[in-house]
Amino acid sequence: MLDLVDLGKRSFSAFRGIAPQEQLDEVLHLAQRLRGVRCLHLNATPYGGGVSELLRSGVPLLNDLGIVTDWKIIRGDQAFFQITKRLHNALQGAPGEFSESDKATYLAHSRLNANSLSEGDYDFIVVHDPQPAALPMIGGRKGARWVWRCHIDTSRPNPEAWEFLRPFLSSYDAAIFTLPEFIPPRFPISHVAIHSPAIDPLSPKNLPLPEELARHILEWIGVRLSRPLVTQISRFDPWKDPMGVIAAYRRVRERVPELQLAMVGSLALDDPEGWDVYREIRDATANDNLIHIFTNLVGVGNIEVNAFQALSNVVIQKSIREGFGLVVSEALWKGTPVVAGRAGGIPLQMPEGTGGILVDSVDECAEAVLHLLKHPREAHRLGEQGREHVRRHFLVPRLLLDFLHLLDSLVQEKPVEPRGLALASQPSASP
């Protein structure tokens, strides 16, 4: 059996007064029409990345709204996850080849995972990213309609990787991408929706922390808030350009000698490459006591990330390729200005003059960080404008609305017979 992720209960009504009311009303209207539909989300890890954060917030809320929803994790050994990480990178355009042995390993694990799904348990199965993508073709559709949610930038995929993955996608009924331009060539699914991710303002990472508590948290782990601080929070991934962040920071420190850099990342089950990047960062910063490296393995989690995003003078997200970059909206939600790479979904979160400064190089990154440090009033204004932009466009009720619209459109194409929610209570979010 696949592992079921254990989640607490959430109340959709808690977003009243936070998210726009018109979004909340429309979610409730659609949810009432879809009550009784059963949905499963499948991905590769319960923690350590944006996908798991989206599901940890969204799945309990869907249940509260009357959409019976589970979240399960596929299984695989180290060899499987090494291959899927290379596949992930190749779909974003990285070079690489896949041997017949690699393909056989991917297919063997896909078969095992597909066989763990029971027939008829769900009306909809949503598969996240390439790791579980082959399941409906290999194991059959199990009486469900299948949706592939691609969170990465597949606009210019490695041809060999794309030709391997593409046939499996023909078994899906619909697909979701973050941006239209992410849709790869000769895409075999005709029903495509565009949903940008969103943050949960009520999660531990985004709840407002009292400033005194936030300061105590960072001082406790060795950050000196008497000195200026810039932070990058991301997975340890070459696409996040951590070495470029270090290079830009060192150029800024020539002008701001006491400047600290915090690099905060997570090491996830499905990302063996992250350990290599982590060691590279540690080696590059070993003799610099103003650069702090933190991971989830040393107890730095959501609350610490919250404090970093709230108290940093500037948050950096210098991505080279990016699906969306939830950490940008997280920082802006706290009113902190961001310097970010002009990649993927980041410009959606930071339109011109809002939130911070978009950059295309190490030099531009250094100049932007220095500018915001030297002009705190402008930095504050950008951060506050960014917070309002996030409130309107990138909070989780809007993401739920997009998802319910997709389910509704699929139900309109072919009605489902809801099985299992006739006795469910009304959602707690009624106005």
Domain ranges of the chain: 3-198+395-413, 211-393
Res 419: pLDDT: 56
Q: Please tell me the CATH superfamily of domain 3-198+395-413, with its number.
A: Glycogen Phosphorylase B; (3.40.50.2000)
Q: CB neighbours (10 Å) of residue 213?
A: 11
Residue 271 has pLDDT above 80, yes or no: no
Residue 267 has pLDDT above 80, yes or no: no
Query: Please, are residues 127 and 174 in contact by the beta-carbon 8 Å criterion?
Result: no
Q: Please indicate, yes or no, whether the overall pTM of this predicted structure exceeds 0.85.
A: yes
Res 415: pLDDT: 87
Query: Please, are residues 230 and 316 in contact by the beta-carbon 8 Å criterion?
Result: yes
Res 270: pLDDT: 61
Q: CB neighbours (10 Å) of residue 336?
A: 26
**pLDDT tens digit sequence for 381-419:** 999 999 999 999 999 999 999 999 999 999 999 888 755
Res 431: pLDDT: 43
* Domains 3-198+395-413 and 211-393 in one fold: yes
Res 269: pLDDT: 60
Residue 427 has pLDDT above 50, yes or no: no
Tokens encoding 332: 């802006």
Residue with tokens 């610099």: 288
Query: Please, are residues 427 and 31 in contact by the beta-carbon 8 Å criterion?
Result: yes
**pLDDT tens digit sequence for 196-215:** 999 999 999 999 999 999 99
Residue 128 has pLDDT above 50, yes or no: yes
Integer angstrom CA distances of residue 329 from 64, 233, 287, 368:
25, 12, 32, 18
At residue 268 the predicted structure's pLDDT band, cuts being 50, 70 and 90, is: low
Which residue has better confidence, 430 or 165? Answer: 165
Please give the average per-residue pLDDT across 58-87, as a whole number: 96
Res 82: pLDDT: 93
At residue 235 the predicted structure's pLDDT band, cuts being 50, 70 and 90, is: confident
Query: Which of 114-128, 223-237, 290-304 is predicted with the least confidence, judged by mean pLDDT?
Result: 290-304
Quote the DSSP letter at residue 290.
T
Integer angstrom CA distances of residue 333 from 18, 209, 309:
11, 12, 9
Fold classification of 211-393 (topology level): Rossmann fold (3.40.50)
Please give the average per-residue pLDDT across 174-190, as a whole number: 96
Give DSSP secondary structure letters for 128-170.
Answer: ESSTTTTHHHHH--TTSEEEEE--S--SS--HHHHHHHHHHHT
Res 119: pLDDT: 87
Percent over 70 (pLDDT), the chain: 96
Residue 264 has pLDDT above 80, yes or no: yes
**pLDDT tens digit sequence for 325-358:** 999 999 999 999 999 999 999 999 999 989 999 9
Res 169: pLDDT: 98
Tokens encoding 401: 């609305």
Res 49: pLDDT: 75
Average of per-residue pLDDT values in the chain: 93
Please give the average per-residue pLDDT across 230-244, as a whole number: 94
Residues 214 and 209: their CA atoms lie apart, in Å, by 6
Residue 155 has pLDDT above 70, yes or no: yes
Strand blocks (E) in 242-309? 260-265, 291-295
Residues 342 and 122: their CA atoms lie apart, in Å, by 39
Please give the average per-residue pLDDT across 282-300, as a whole number: 90
